[in-house]
Amino acid sequence: MWERVDSMGDNDIDRAIRRVRDGDADAFAIIVRAFERPVRGWLAASASPGVDIDEVAQRSFVAAYLGLNKYRNGTDFGAWLFTIARFQLKTELTRLRRSKSRDARLNPEIFRQRALRVPDQPQENMENRLDHLRNCVEMLGNHLKQFVRWRYYDGVPLEEMAVRTGRSLPAVKKQLWKLRRALHACVRGKMAANGPEISGNP
Instruction: Sketch out the chain's domains with CATH numbers.
Output: 1-120 (1.10.1740.10), 123-202 (1.10.10.10)
**Average pLDDT for 138-157:** 80
108-145 pLDDT, tens per residue?
A: 444 444 443 444 454 555 666 667 777 888 888 888 88
43-59 pLDDT, tens per residue?
A: 888 887 778 888 888 88
- Summary mean pLDDT of the chain: 76
Of 199 and 16, the one with more pLDDT: 16
Q: Model confidence at 101, in pLDDT bands (50, 70, 90)?
A: low
What residues contact residue 174 under an 8 Å CB cut-off, 6+ apart?
Answer: none
